[in-house]
Amino acid sequence: MKLTYRHNPLQSQHSPLPGNAAPGLARTPAPLSPLELAQRLQTSLDLERVLEMFSESIQWAFPHDGMTYDHPALGLHSSWGRISRHSCCYNLVVEREEIGELRFLRGRKFRDEELTELENLMGVLVYPLRNSLLFRQAVDAAQTDPLTGLGNRAAMERLLPRELASLRRGQHELALLVVDVDHFKRINDTLGHSAGDRVLRATAKCLREATRESDMLFRYGGEEFVMLMRTDNPEDGLQAGERIRTVLRECPELQAAASGMQLTASIGVAQAHPLDTPATLFDRADQAMYTAKQAGRDRVVRSEE
């Protein structure tokens, strides 16, 4: 294990940290031996839970007001507690593998003996932390389409119930769009499957360019893509569908992927209702997409409510 330490005094004091609040940071649990701490950390493979348990468990030896964890290469950031004046940061490396940065915060300066104790305790954390990172990466890989880099059907089926639950709590509106590349079988039959793969990769790239960072994109299967988007009004989904249709039709990379063919897409849009299940919402958008196909392709059709 390798630790790189730095100390930073902060200007703001006792303001809320963005992210997850953890009231447990204010408590001082009973002391744990290194073995007991290791056993506790091994009870979960959830990254945030492992870090939260570690923060709570070391309060007796290393009192702190807040903690943050960052792994820029994986796009991970989590925070607990509150910002305080003083901080200490550690870059964690195990067997030459960087596993992120931990930052601890509190109102009074950290004493040398406390930092020594913390470094000993982090020796117990690093392997459970690495295991949770490996587990998270494995789950992400299992939910990623290898051809396009988008989420796959399994990822969509995991996220859609959560988004519908948020809709029912009144947190946001939700639309689901099904995007299907027109005449895709003709591309495979005429130009071969390598050309079909190029079309799918180019479609995914153009979809990313046509959507917001908050929109959720998936390759559902074959030439069919799905987008989940949080909306402010029922027209947002239809407008997004028209924007995507236009971008795909005019995307140079997509048009170059199948020489001699004008590539277009048919798009179905369904606005979610509180009584929708994942299946009913998807089926309405999927049926609207087939209606667009039957009406001549290269168009957007909204599901009848």
Q: Which residues are catalytic?
A: 223
Taking Cα atoms as reference points, which of 125, 166, 113 lies closest to residue 3? 125
- Alpha helices (H) in the chain, listed in sequence order: 34-41, 47-57, 112-142, 153-168, 184-191, 193-210, 235-250, 252-257, 278-294
- Type of residue found at 172: H
Mapped onto helix, strand or coil, the DSSP state of residue 21 is coil
* Secondary structure (3-state) at 44: coil
CA distances from 189 to 192, 206, 258 (A): 6, 23, 12
Could you tell me which residues are beta bridge partners of residue 182? none
Choose among 269, 260, 257, 267: nearest CA to 302: 269
Residues 6+ apart with CB under 8 A from 144: 150, 151, 152, 155
Of 70, 69, 88, 91, the residue nearest 80 (C-alpha): 69
Q: Which of 162, 90, 81 is nearest to 120 (CA)?
A: 90
The token duo for 201 is: 């990769």
Give the whole-angstrom CA distance, residue 158 versus residue 138: 15
